[in-house]
Amino acid sequence: MADLYHSIDESQLRAEASSCLLTYGSKFHPNIISRAKGVYIYTASGHRILDWTSGQMSCLIGHGNPEIVEVITNHAANLDHLFSGMLSPPVISLAKRLIDLTPRGLDKTFFLSTGGESNEAAIRLAKFYTGKFEIVGLSSSWHGMVGAANGAQYHSGRAGYGPVLPGNFCLPAPNAYRSIFRHPNGSHDWRTELDYGFSLIDRQSCGSLAAVIAEPILSSAGMHPLPAGYLKALKEHCDQRGMLLICDEAQTAIGRAGDMFAFQHHDDGVIPDILTLSKTLGNGLPLSAVITSDSIARFAKENNFTFYTTHINDPIPASVGDKVLEIVVRDGLVQRSRELGKILQAGFRHLQQRYGCIGDVRGRGLMAGVEIVTDRITKEPGLELGDRIGKRMAELGLWAQLGTMQSFSGVFRIAPPITISLKELEEGLAIMEKAFSTVAGTMPLYQQDFGGRVGANL
């Protein structure tokens, strides 16, 4: 298929963008992207960039996937959008396929557009079911830009907009690299941290605690997996207080983190009361899901729970989600993500051994964080250094987002499509190596002689 935008004037488009586009919380990338295919994006000038954020962490099975293109084309021509109370075959098929993949206790679902919308619906459902209104989030969380979801997140964007909805509290986000809660041997004491957090919430609550919402891997916080046992302890705290547990798996589900759903990773029997999906489910199209138990669904139906939107259960995005799940299961992509993730982590740890500016490497599956510091002892965030490394990587043909907000602390968030090949994975690691080796201040832990040969820095 021909490139739709092969003859555009990039400088003119940048000028027009500056004159007519409203900013929304991020600097615009300096290049105009004119094409995306597989694991690559292409600038208008023809520069090919390996996309290690899957767009906005969403293109799980790659840009322009031919099966997805066919599904969209067929449904755009035959079954596009309906009255919100109507049902269609792709919606029912997606619901059946999704519920067949979830464990018992996650039995009913409906489909919305964005992750923020699905979290809004989940919080609304939790309040409706419990009859309470207080919501607890983690201190570096991101759950969306709509009312209740935005009130339950603490990553950024709270200042300057007036009060959020009443009844929001936060727990300290578990950060094994930076937390002040430590065992005598220096390891992260997440349980004391969690218990202490709830002791403060109990003092602040007016007795109306409805739910906790948490990501199994805190992505906007800098790709921090919840410690083994954390989700189980969190559920126990919820049960003690009559609260529901909401798991936000916008980025972590459908194989991204090496399991079909990331809450299943530690196999400790924890099943959230409500699960939300988005991003990866739609492979870049606006599609999200809210999944809950039969008992909560029955209460919602009998008591007329309402979350009625224009695009609820829309056919086109549902057809895409159905195909995404089919492909992931059919092609064994969950296992593939798990195995390639081991190679990715090994590559990052190799880089960490070679460059002193890499303070920490973490993640699961094809979801990783590489934290940049100016000093490994003090762990001073290397925001400016990370920015220079990121720009150099983009010049060399690799896009990986560097978070520079406070709760990021300067972390490259990496999440390539899980259809990436081993060769493409190695290509990205080689580009990262070249970027680190050519940017000043990365603190090489080796010495390079004048002939270009690399030797150990003994």
Rounded CA gap, 275 and 122, in Å? 8
- Nearest of 230, 219, 293 to residue 253 by alpha carbon: 219
- Nearest of 208, 239, 29 to residue 131 by alpha carbon: 208
Rounded CA gap, 403 and 298, in Å? 42
Rounded CA gap, 192 and 173, in Å? 12
Burial 403-415 (b: 16+ CB within 10 A, else e): bbbebbbbbbbbb
Contacts of 110 (CB under 8 A, 6+ apart): 95, 121, 289, 290, 307, 312, 313
Q: Has 215 been annotated as catalytic? A: yes
Which residue in the list 51, 117, 215, 371 is annotated as catalytic? Answer: 215
Which residue reads 């092609």 in tokens? 331
Which residue in the list 127, 132, 251, 424 is annotated as catalytic? Answer: 251
Q: Has 190 been annotated as catalytic? A: no
Q: Has 14 been annotated as catalytic? A: no
Which residue in the list 248, 249, 360, 424 is annotated as catalytic? Answer: 248
Which residue in the list 241, 399, 413, 424 is annotated as catalytic? Answer: 413
Which residue in the list 127, 132, 256, 279 is annotated as catalytic? Answer: 279
Q: Has 239 been annotated as catalytic? A: no
| DSSP state at residue 355 | B
Which residue in the list 52, 142, 190, 399 is annotated as catalytic? Answer: 142
Task: Give Cα separations from 365 to 49, 217, 417 (angstroms).
Answer: 22, 11, 11
- Nearest of 252, 205, 221 to residue 142 by alpha carbon: 221
- Nearest of 84, 89, 87 to residue 71 by alpha carbon: 89
Q: Has 70 been annotated as catalytic? A: no
Q: Has 189 been annotated as catalytic? A: no
Partners of residue 275 on adjacent β-strands: 247, 291
The answer to whether the CB of 358 falls within 8 A of the CB of 365 is no
Which residue reads 């919100």 in tokens? 84
Beta strands 217-218 and 209-214 are unpaired
Alpha helices by DSSP H, listed for 136-257, are 147-151, 190-204, 230-240
Write out the catalytic residue numbers. Answer: 142, 215, 248, 251, 279, 413
